[in-house]
Amino acid sequence: MFKTFIPFFCFFTLLQASHLFAETNLYQQFPPTAEGTGKVFMGREIAHVMGYQGAGWLEREAREKEERTDLLIESLNLQKGMTIADVGAGTGYLSKRMAEKVGKDGIVYAADVQPEMVGKIKSFAKKYTNIQPVLSQTNNVNLPANSIDMAIMVDVYHELEYPYEVVESILKALKSNAQLILVEYRAEDDKVPIKQTHKMSESQIIKELTVHPLKWQTTINLLPWQHIVIFKKQ
């Protein structure tokens, strides 16, 4: 009789552990570094958000050459008719490129927490009828449940004020077995010309994302400055 209760006990223990992680104080506050907020999640200091005043950086002429955004788009293996969430879309630089790949039957939700950025997306969305601007909250992406084939955050996750809650909200929007992809500047490479709090190591990304029901699939390292870390919803 004792053996029949072991699987149930283990399952119950896992549920308790998951609930405990969600309910405990996820974040600590310390004196901030020069480039950080002082808010720490799982040993990592959260970076300051790049405000809408930095829109020019996202649209700079040299971006494709410096970051090889063309290779990034190719590596996503986007298909016609897919529904994509560009979380932290900013000016929509990548939303436009992904919209071309998914075609008129696809959708790109271009989500951002800054109304000014969403305004920039709305300014060209009429030309891209498959882009839908979304104003998110700092703890919720505000996307339709069970609707997304792939969600991607490009140089965004390290700035999230509430990373745990945002990923949980993305999971609700993802379909079963859908992908969540993080593109982050490589902390392992001192030659990457980005401030340290705006970089993330592969191991830290995996550590933080796998506290959720996400399984790491692969990491693609073909970009000059960033790695592409791919997870699958479990």
CA 132, 102, 121 angle in degrees (round to 5)? Answer: 30
> Tokens 């951002």 label which residue?
112
Average pLDDT over residues 50-71: 92
Domain of 196? 3-233
Which burial class, exposed, middle or buried, applies to 19 when counting CB atoms under 10 A from its CB (0-12, 13-18, 19+)?
exposed
pLDDT in tens, 155-201: 999 999 999 999 999 999 999 999 999 999 999 999 999 999 999 99
pLDDT in tens, 93-111: 999 999 999 999 999 999 9
pLDDT in tens, 100-145: 999 999 999 999 999 999 999 999 988 999 999 999 999 999 999 9
- The model carries a pTM of 0.88
Domains of the chain: total: 1
Q: What is the CATH number for 40?
A: 3.40.50.150
- Rounded (10°) CA dihedral 199, 202, 207, 213: 110
Cα separation of 144 and 174, whole Å? 9
